[in-house]
């Protein structure tokens, strides 16, 4: 008789193979005086943290190569298509990060696209700085779609909540799959 696979082992295997996509504003507001890459560097550190915790396939959209010679007038359209493609066709877990030091327009648009496609709401986490109001439309989406949302006050909490959110999503996915068997 074959020993049964432990639930914890299934979660650990799923964790190392889960495709996690982190979405957030790369450009920091000039008025913050923190340098233009302050937010991008926080996102990169979050990616590195999740990888170190066993989410080996964690990416930012910037990690995929851009098309060669994109005309400057098409650059914004290219980045929109690129984000939407990886949201729709690659990611299994989506982390949307809203910083108080950024304008968050791009990540709000990516969030909106995910909600409109309605296929990954249960696999999404929204993390926002506790002092940031994301607006009633995003809050409405969070409530209506029952998306996980967590305010954070510092980078340590951002990392902690991203990890626990990813883990909870995997737990739900594995639990529902086992229930079907």
Average pLDDT, consecutive stretches of 10 residues, N- to C-terminus, the chain (181 residues): 66 91 89 82 97 96 72 72 91 94 89 84 91 73 72 96 94 74 57
Which tokens go with 165? 């959110």
pLDDT of residue 22: 97
Nearest to residue 49, comparing CAs of 132, 159, 142, 133?
159
Q: Which domains does the chain have, with CATH numbers?
A: 26-63+72-180 (3.40.50.450)
pLDDT of residue 156: 97
- Please enumerate in sequence order all residues whose Cβ is within 8 A of that of 103, keeping only pairs 6 or more positions apart, or say none: 25, 27, 29
Nearest to residue 11, comparing CAs of 173, 132, 179, 157?
173
pLDDT of residue 3: 46
Which tokens go with 56? 């080996």
């Amino acid at each position: 008789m074959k020993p049964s696979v432990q639930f914890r082992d299934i979660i650990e295997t799923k964790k190392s193979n889960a495709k996690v996509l982190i979405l957030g504003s790369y450009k920091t507001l000039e008025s913050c005086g923190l340098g233009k890459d302050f937010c991008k560097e926080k996102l990169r550190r979050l990616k590195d943290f999740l990888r170190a915790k066993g989410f080996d396939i964690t990416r930012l959209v910037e990690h995929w190569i851009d098309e060669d010679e994109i005309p400057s007038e098409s650059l914004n359209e290219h980045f929109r298509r690129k984000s939407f493609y990886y949201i729709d066709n690659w990611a299994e877990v989506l982390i949307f990060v809203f910083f108080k030091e950024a304008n968050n327009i791009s990540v709000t648009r990516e969030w909106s696209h995910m909600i409109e496609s309605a296929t990954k709401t249960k696999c999404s986490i929204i993390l926002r700085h506790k002092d940031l109001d994301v607006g009633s439309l995003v809050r409405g989406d969070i409530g209506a779609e029952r998306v996980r949302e967590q305010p954070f006050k510092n980078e340590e909490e951002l990392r902690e909540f991203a990890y626990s959110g990813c883990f909870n999503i995997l737990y739900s996915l594995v639990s529902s799959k086992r229930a079907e068997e």
